Amino acid sequence: MKGRIKRVMEGGCEAKEKGRKRGWWNDECKEEKNKRKKRREENERWEKELSEIKTEGQVWEVVRRERRRKKRANEDIKMEEWDRQLSKEKGKMVAFFIDLRAAFDSVDRGVLIEVMRERGVREGLISRCEDVLRETRNRVREELQRDKLRGRAGKKAWGFEKRLEEGRGSEIARRSWDEMRVRCKKKKGVSSWEMERCGFFENRGLVPVGSKDFPNTVRIQENVIGE
């Protein structure tokens, strides 16, 4: 049947039923031609979209849409969403994302490449998509590393200031720290570094209040929800 249809499409098959203006193979040929045209147009559209992608999210959006169209979407190539967990710590609500690197690395990139090859996408475009996925993964890991370093530096600074608040350390260090907190509260004579530091604590629910040792200065206290 397929061979006959192919010969008809190539013009090598003649009608068997003489006297009829159109034979059964005319409809078959038309249907086959429409299928080929539709497949070609779909591949051209697919390749055009892939040639314009710049991020991993765009890659997966194209793939999901194509898989949904073919009604075989979802479980294998679904991108993992970041887990968001809410917990209470010392009466304060804390929201954080868990293991961002694992969320990105769990995406099955092999399935994505397989789907592209099934659709007849050119190897050049497939290579470009692989580069996008690789660069995205590297950027995520670099950003995670920077966040870890910032977090460690913040914890170290917080520990130092807690010691000053408890009366430990030299008197010069304690008075300098209190003076800086006063300037931060008044927003006068504060350097850009001190402003950034104040914002760091405020974003974490820490606010300046009166100090027991120095009534005219300020110290840090946790801003607990519900108080």
Listing DSSP states for 78-111 in one string gives PPPPPEEEEEEETTEEEEEEE-HHHHHHTS-HHH
- What is the Cβ-side half-sphere exposure of residue 134, based on CA atoms within 13 angstroms? 7
d(CA 174, CA 165): 7
- Does the structure show a pLDDT above 80 at 37? yes
Strand ranges inside the chain, DSSP E? 83-89, 92-98, 206-210, 218-222
The average pLDDT across 18-31 equals 61
- Does the structure show a pLDDT above 60 at 190? no
d(CA 227, CA 225): 6
- Does the structure show a pLDDT above 50 at 110? yes
pLDDT score of 24:
56
Is pTM beyond 0.75? Reply is: no
Q: Which of 8-12, 95-99, 186-190 has the lowest mean pLDDT?
A: 95-99
- Does the structure show a pLDDT above 80 at 57? no
**Most confident of the following: 45-49, 154-158, 204-208:** 45-49
